[in-house]
């Protein structure tokens, strides 16, 4: 079985974070979102993986993942020159897939528990396709499944104004090569895209065996700033405590905290978990790192309080106030010389300098 990771899209709802790179490389608990996807495929026994690149700095993706060997997989890169829809992206993989079954995984999705059991089920049954569904509160924002009175899948609708159910497509699809026949019949939707929901609908209408499974636990589509922060919370909630760096005073650590190699937590600092401190980061005396905070590698926090936030790599934070519910892009500097309000919420792109 082969794997396909969709790594395109403009990520307009995540600007300014996506002005300098694809949304799938935004880190959650110090790891790019799409790395969780790649590792999920690998852990499911899938080692031949195609990554579909978009037009937002694809070289950053290739630089990070390389040929895949350091992650234990083989990566093939394919280019989608413009955002023409999921079905269009899947269609580009026909030669890569060959006669094999395959799984398509959106690179900005996170799924608790992973897909291993679904991979095994798809391989052990004669399904032509299988989709994963998750019950959500806002189904109108997703592709939605309609089930009949016997629980059979009868229809898929893309972002309906009046959803027939609360079961959203998770962005994880299992296919056999028959899907390519359906894709070739598609015409662009009102959005100007080839919709994968329409291709799967054709499979249903032509009598192919399309299964579905409802995922348990959480699933996160990280399409907005709020989604990114919530995903960071969900992942950190399951973090295993680990101290690989230097902690000058053990009382500085409270709860489940991961201190990565080369990091230093100075005496007088306080880190309250769940939290992660990246490689070679320095947390100075008097700094408070609150729950659900990810501090990237090479970050220097000289003063201040940070809570429920993501600080990406190579940043400098020196404030006399609290930073909350924030995302600070890589290589940025935030300096506050005066005490401000009780807390600042900041969304800052890469290579920025903020002084207040």
Q: Same domain, yes or no, for 220 and 258? A: no
- CATH number for 284: 2.160.10.10
Smallest CA-to-CA distance from 299 within 274, 287, 276, 282 is with: 282
Last-in-domain residue among 206, 236, 266: 236
Q: Which two tokens stand for residue 332?
A: 């940025």
Instruction: Annotate 210-226 with b (16+ C-beta within 10 A) or e (fewer).
Output: bbbbebeeebbbbbebe
Residue 19 pLDDT: 62
Peptide bond preceding 332 in cis form (omega within 30 of 0):
no
Give the CA distances from residue 263 to residues 280, 299, 323, in Å, rounded to whole numbers and listed in that order: 4, 9, 21
The verdict on 231 and 249 lying in the same domain is no
The answer on 349 and 216 residing in a single domain is no
Q: What is the dihedral sign for C-alpha 291, 293, 297, 301?
A: negative
236, 264, 295: which is the final residue of a domain?
236
Instruction: Show which of 194, 213, 236 is a domain's final residue.
Output: 236
pLDDT for 220 equals 84
Counting Cα atoms < 13 Å in the Cβ hemisphere of 250 gives 2
Distance CA 333, CA 313 (A): 11
* Contact by Cβ (8 Å): 320, 303: yes
The model's pTM: 0.92
Count of domains forming the chain: 2
Question: Cα–chain-centroid distance for residue 175?
Answer: 22
CB 267 within 8 A of CB 282: no
Q: What is the pLDDT of residue 37?
A: 96
User: Are residues 291 and 223 located together in one domain of the fold?
Assistant: no
User: In this predicted structure, what is the pLDDT of residue 54?
Assistant: 84
If asked whether residues 228 and 262 sit together in one domain, one would say no
CATH of the domain at 104: 3.90.550.10
Tokens describing residue 243? 């101290």
My answer on whether 72 and 184 are in the same domain is: yes
Task: Give the per-residue pLDDT at 14.
Answer: 65
For residues 112 and 247, membership in a common domain is answered with: no
Rounded CA-CA distance 15/189 in Å is 26
Same-domain pairing of 267 and 135 = no
Do 214 and 321 fall into the same domain? no
Predicted confidence at residue 353, as pLDDT, reads: 81
For the chain, state the CA radius of gyration. Answer: 22
Range of the domain at 327: 242-355
* Per-residue H/E/C for the chain: CEEEEEECCCCHHHCCHHHCCCHHHCEECCEEHHHHHHHHHHHCCCCEEEEEECCCCHHHHHHHHCCCHHHCCEEEEEECCCCCCHHHHHHCCHHHHCCCCEEEEECCEEECCCCHHHHHHHHHCCCCEEEEEEECCCHHHCEEEEECCCCCEEEEEECCCCCCCCEEEEEEEEECCCHHHHHCCCCCCCCCCCCHHHHHHHHHHCCCCEEEEECCCCEEECCCHHHHHHHHHHHHCCCCCEECCEECCHHHEECCEEECCCCEECCCCEEECCEEECCCCEECCCCEECCCEEECCCCEEEEEEEECCEECCCCEEEEEEEEECCEECCCCEEECCCCCCCCECCEECCCCEEEC
Q: Are residues 164 and 208 in the same domain?
A: yes
Same domain, 108 and 125: yes
Domain match, 232 and 246 both: no
Rounded to whole angstroms, how far apart are CA atoms 234 and 149? 34
Question: For each successive 10 residues of the chain (356 residues), what is the average pLDDT?
Answer: 86 63 87 96 97 87 95 95 87 96 94 92 93 89 85 86 89 96 89 87 94 89 86 94 95 96 97 97 97 97 96 95 92 81 78 80
pLDDT confidence of residue 276: 98
Distances (CA, A) of 342 to 307, 324, 334: 12, 10, 16
């Amino acid at each position: 079985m082969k794997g396909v990771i969709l790594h395109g899209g403009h990520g307009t709802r995540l600007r300014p974070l996506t002005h300098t790179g694809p949304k799938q490389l935004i880190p959650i608990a110090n790891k790019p979102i799409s790395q969780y996807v790649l590792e999920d495929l690998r852990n499911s026994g899938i080692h031949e993986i195609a990554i579909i690149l978009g037009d937002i700095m694809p070289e950053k993706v290739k630089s990070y993942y390389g040929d895949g060997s350091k992650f234990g997989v083989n990566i093939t890169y394919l280019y989608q020159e413009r955002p023409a829809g999921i079905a269009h992206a899947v269609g580009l993989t026909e030669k890569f897939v060959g006669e094999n079954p395959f799984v398509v995984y959106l690179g900005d999705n996170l799924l608790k528990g992973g897909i291993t059991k679904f991979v095994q089920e798809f391989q052990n049954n004669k399904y032509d396709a299988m989709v994963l569904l998750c019950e959500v509160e806002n189904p109108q924002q997703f592709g939605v499944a309609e089930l009949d009175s016997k629980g059979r899948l009868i229809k898929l609708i893309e972002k309906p104004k009046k959803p027939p159910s609360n079961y959203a497509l998770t962005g994880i699809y299992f296919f056999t090569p028959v899907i390519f026949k359906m894709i070739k019949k598609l015409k662009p939707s009102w959005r100007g895209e080839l919709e994968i929901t329409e291709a799967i609908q054709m499979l249903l209408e032509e009598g192919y065996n399309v299964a579905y499974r409802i995922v348990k636990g959480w699933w996160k589509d990280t399409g907005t700033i709020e989604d990114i922060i919530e995903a960071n919370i969900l992942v950190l909630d399951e973090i295993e405590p680990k101290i690989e760096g230097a902690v000058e005073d053990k009382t500085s650590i409270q709860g489940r905290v991961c201190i990565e190699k080369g990091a230093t937590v100075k005496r007088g600092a306080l880190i309250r978990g769940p939290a992660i401190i990246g490689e070679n980061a320095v947390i100075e005396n008097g700094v408070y790192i609150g729950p659900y905070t990810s501090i990237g590698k090479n970050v220097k926090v000289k003063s201040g309080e940070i809570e429920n936030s993501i600080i990406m790599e190579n940043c400098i934070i020196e404030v006399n106030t609290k930073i909350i519910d924030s995302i600070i892009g890589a290589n940025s500097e935030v300096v506050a010389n005066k005490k401000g309000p009780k807390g600042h919420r900041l969304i800052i792109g890469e290579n920025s300098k903020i002084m207040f």
